[in-house]
Amino acid sequence: MNKTIVLLLTLVCLSGCIFLPSLDLEKKWVEQFVTGDESSSDKILILPIQGVIMTQETSSLLSSKNACTPDKIQELLKLASDDVHVKAVILVINSPGGGVTASDIIYRTIKEFKAKYPDKPIIALMQDTAASGGYYISCSADYVMAHPTTITGSIGVISMFFALEDLMGKIGVETVVIKSGKAKDTGSPFRKMTDEEKTYMQKIIDEMYNRFLDIVAEARKNSLTRDEIKTLADGRILTGEEARKVKLVDSVGYMTDAYNKTLDLAHLKSAKVIRYQKSSGLFDNMFMGPMPSLELTYLAEMVLKTNSNQFMYLWTPSLVTSSDTK
């Protein structure tokens, strides 16, 4: 446990001390052909939901620039809105989830796009992982397809707090807190959480959990009741085939299958599949060695930085050792 804490603290220190300027704001989005009928004027946009879902990207060395943020999704959908030739969207999801708020904003952004363009179907295609917040976002689609080996599910909410009080005592560091009310430092890593505070935090978790259930129930209303969903929403993960059997997804397939399904729903004979891509930046390839996992870095920042959201729709198999999911 102590080794884990030291590693997390080290990551945060590095992420705060090593800053790389970003040139992304000056880059232009470029349309790239992916597959399909390149001669067709009709387009199907691939919208990537990849990496940990967070409210905003950070500029530190250890934080991934490939995180999925609401701003990025809104920007890509704006490009799709401005192109009359985009007839449908495929959400390509490869994410373990992330922040509750970020997941919800992206879900809402896609739903608003659907409401504005009801004749443009949205298909969700799950890849390696579409768990928790990744599954939450898939609920915005008209049709959900999983890869046979996808890991999905993990419906629930988690909030983790590190207890550093004993460790700080061992190294001779005392934390002095001056606060306006007894609950002002609830969740502080520098003191133990009281039973009253745990009950209070559980109420918040339950509220967010019920919202997750409502989102899934609305999306799967033709297949499952809310009670049936609740039996599956205990944090468990499922393979793509298992998810199909319990009706959390509509089918299992590959990109070719998703392409054909999209053509069918959009009433198209053919189309070219495109994506919007930015060119590599000056600093993008400077560090080629292995980097810490995105989930580990993200959790370190979320838990130890005061401006981070600590409530997550996130599957954290390598770090979660207790059943704090709901």
- Backbone phi, psi, residue 34, to 5°: -110, -55
End-to-end distance of the chain based on CA atoms, in angstroms? 23
Quick check: is 184 catalytic?
A: yes
Quick check: is 28 catalytic?
A: no
Q: How far apart are CA 117 and CA 113, in angstroms?
A: 6
> Among the options 15, 132, 159, 188, which is catalytic?
132
Q: How far apart are CA 248 and CA 233, in angstroms?
A: 11
Q: How far apart are CA 98 and CA 82, in angstroms?
A: 29
Q: For the residues of 274-295, what is the DSSP string, one character each?
A: EEEEPPPPTTTTS--S----HH
| Cα separation values, 184 from 191, 193, 225, Å | 12, 12, 39
> Among the options 116, 182, 184, 221, which is catalytic?
184
Active site residues: 132, 184
